[in-house]
């Protein structure tokens, strides 16, 4: 046998290129190519070989394609009978075995854009051959790493945003529900009971995926620092400044913040560019519009924050929604819409909020049939 195989007994520490080696095969540079080609021909698994000198120091690589491309030329076989491996050896990028995979991926990012195999050498501190990995090996690793990151982000987001929260307090019943369209999303809600007051927020982050999930984590951190002594308007301004400073206009958030006074039985509404807030009163549905000067968060470094106040009457229901429910389409691309949403709430207003939620989700799922959930679906219903 002229093809040798490294036996690596090193244990990789951390995310290093040693983890993604797919071939440990190598040959010495003075071996005859014709003999090497005979062994390569017997195994479809051999795509590339490391080439080393007598001290096993790296000289380059020899690929299967290069061997058989040359053999296919006129007189190719005759030429190779007299040539050493060094004749077809080519250079390849080399990496120390404990080089971080993600720094390697940054250096090799152009190779990740092509579907043609490319090969890279892994060596030890003495420049001796350890193994070979390909751009395909690197892509598979990065894909798996991304999958794990998404899974972790999903678990984190589920711990931040519960699927369902129900609060019964005095004359009020409150239900919040959220279901992400994918593993991670950009909807966020928060409810805090201050004994005499209840604070509620619902936020819809621009965009989807990991970046949106990152913003929900940012929102969670901001909300956890909220206490009853902080003015809601100042709290909103701080979130806006932080968002503007950190994300530099690349992300923004539409949001609604509510403060319910349990004793006075009224509600303060701060609608920051969201607008999906509705009141059901005496069989009528009212859109609770607020000042157009209340911009979404993250667009300007300084913003105005105006509130609207509302005194509750017996039987009132306030619903705040994200657009995932009203913009869900069916197979004919018709939207579920706000009229259908509020119509369901109105039809079952005398039922418990949990019943209303169950029927609303059931009707939404029936409406979309085989259409995928197009966006995160989140809503909060307050019943007096």
pLDDT tens digit string along 139-158? Answer: 999 988 877 777 776 666 66
pTM of the complete model beyond 0.95? no
Q: Alpha-carbon Rg of the chain, whole angstroms?
A: 31
* Higher per-residue pLDDT: 183 or 104: 104
Helix 353-368 × helix 337-347 angle, to 10°: 140
Place 49 in a pLDDT band, splitting at 50, 70 and 90.
Answer: very high
Average pLDDT in the 37-41 region?
88
Share of the chain above pLDDT 70, in %: 95
What pLDDT, on the 0 to 100 scale, is given for residue 210?
67
Which of the two residues, 146 and 347, has the higher pLDDT score?
Answer: 347
- CA distances 384 to 103, 170, 279, Å, are 57, 9, 11
Work out the average pLDDT over 106-111: 91
Tell me what pLDDT residue 138 has.
94
User: By C-alpha distance, which of 258, 138, 145 is closest to 194?
Assistant: 258
How does residue 137 score in pLDDT terms, banded at 50, 70 and 90?
Answer: very high
Q: In what order do the strands lie in the sheet with 164-169?
A: 164-169, 172-179, 377-383, 317-321, 277-281, 284-287
Q: What is the mean pLDDT of residues 234-258?
A: 89
- Band (183; pLDDT cuts 50, 70, 90): low
Residue 55 pLDDT class (50, 70, 90 cuts): very high
Quote the tokens at residue 363: 């009707």
For 266-324, write each residue's pLDDT tens digit. Answer: 999 999 988 899 999 998 999 998 777 788 999 998 898 999 999 999 999 999 999 88
**Domain range 4-143, CATH class:** alpha beta
Q: Which residues lie closer than 8 Å to 78 by C-beta, 6 or more apart? A: none
Asked if pLDDT for residue 121 goes beyond 80, the answer is yes
Strand partners, 94: 121
pLDDT at 338 over 90: yes
Residue 374 pLDDT level (bands cut at 50, 70, 90): confident
pLDDT at 184: 66
Average pLDDT over residues 348-377: 92
Is-contact 61 89, C-beta < 8 A?
yes
What DSSP string runs through 187-218? EEEEEEE-SSEEEEEEEEESS-HHHHHHHHHH
Of 250 and 100, more confident: 100
Amino acid 10: pLDDT: 65
What is the CATH T-level fold of the domain 161-383, as seen in this structure? Phosphatase 2c; domain 1 (3.60.40)
Domain locations in the chain as residue ranges? 4-143, 161-383
């Amino acid at each position: 046998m002229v093809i040798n195989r490294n036996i690596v007994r090193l244990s990789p520490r951390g995310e290093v290129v040693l983890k993604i080696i797919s071939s440990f095969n190598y040959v010495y540079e003075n071996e005859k190519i014709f003999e090497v080609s005979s062994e390569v021909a017997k195994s479809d698994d051999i795509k590339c070989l490391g080439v080393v000198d007598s001290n096993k120091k790296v000289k380059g690589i020899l690929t299967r394609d290069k061997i058989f491309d040359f053999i296919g030329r006129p007189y190719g076989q005759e030429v190779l009978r007299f040539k050493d491996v060094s004749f077809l050896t080519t250079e390849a990028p080399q990496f120390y075995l404990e080089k971080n995979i993600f720094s390697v991926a940054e250096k090799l990012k152009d190779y990740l854009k092509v579907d043609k195999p490319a090969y890279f050498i892994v060596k030890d501190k003495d420049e001796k051959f350890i193994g070979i990995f390909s751009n395909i090996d690197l892509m598979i690793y990065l894909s798996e790493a991304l999958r794990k990151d998404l899974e972790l982000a999903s678990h984190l987001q589920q711990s931040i945003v519960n699927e369902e929260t129900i609060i019964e307090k005095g004359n009020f019943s409150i239900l919040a529900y959220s279901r992400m369209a994918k593993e991670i999303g950009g909807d966020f809600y928060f409810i805090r009971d201050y004994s005499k007051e209840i604070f509620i927020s619902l936020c819809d982050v621009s965009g989807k995926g990991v970046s949106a999930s990152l913003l929900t984590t940012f929102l969670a951190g901001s909300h956890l620092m909220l206490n009853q002594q902080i003015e809601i308007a100042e709290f909103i301004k701080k979130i806006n400044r932080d968002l503007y400073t950190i994300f530099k206009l690349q992300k923004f958030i539409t949001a609604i913040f509510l403060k319910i006074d349990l004793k006075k039985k009224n509600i303060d509404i701060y609608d920051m560019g969201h607008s999906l807030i509705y009141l059901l009163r005496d069989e009528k549905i009212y859109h609770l519009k607020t000042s157009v000067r209340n911009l979404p968060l993250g667009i300007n470094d300084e913003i105005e924050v105006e509130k609207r106040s509302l005194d509750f009457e017996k039987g009132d229901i306030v619903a705040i929604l994200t657009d995932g429910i009203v913009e869900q389409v069916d197979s004919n691309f018709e939207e579920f819409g706000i009229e259908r949403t509020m119509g369901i709430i109105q039809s079952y207003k005398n039922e418990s909020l949990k019943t209303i939620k169950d029927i609303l989700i059931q009707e939404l799922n029936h409406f979309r049939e085989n259409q995928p959930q197009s966006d995160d679906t989140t809503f909060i219903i307050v019943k007096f």
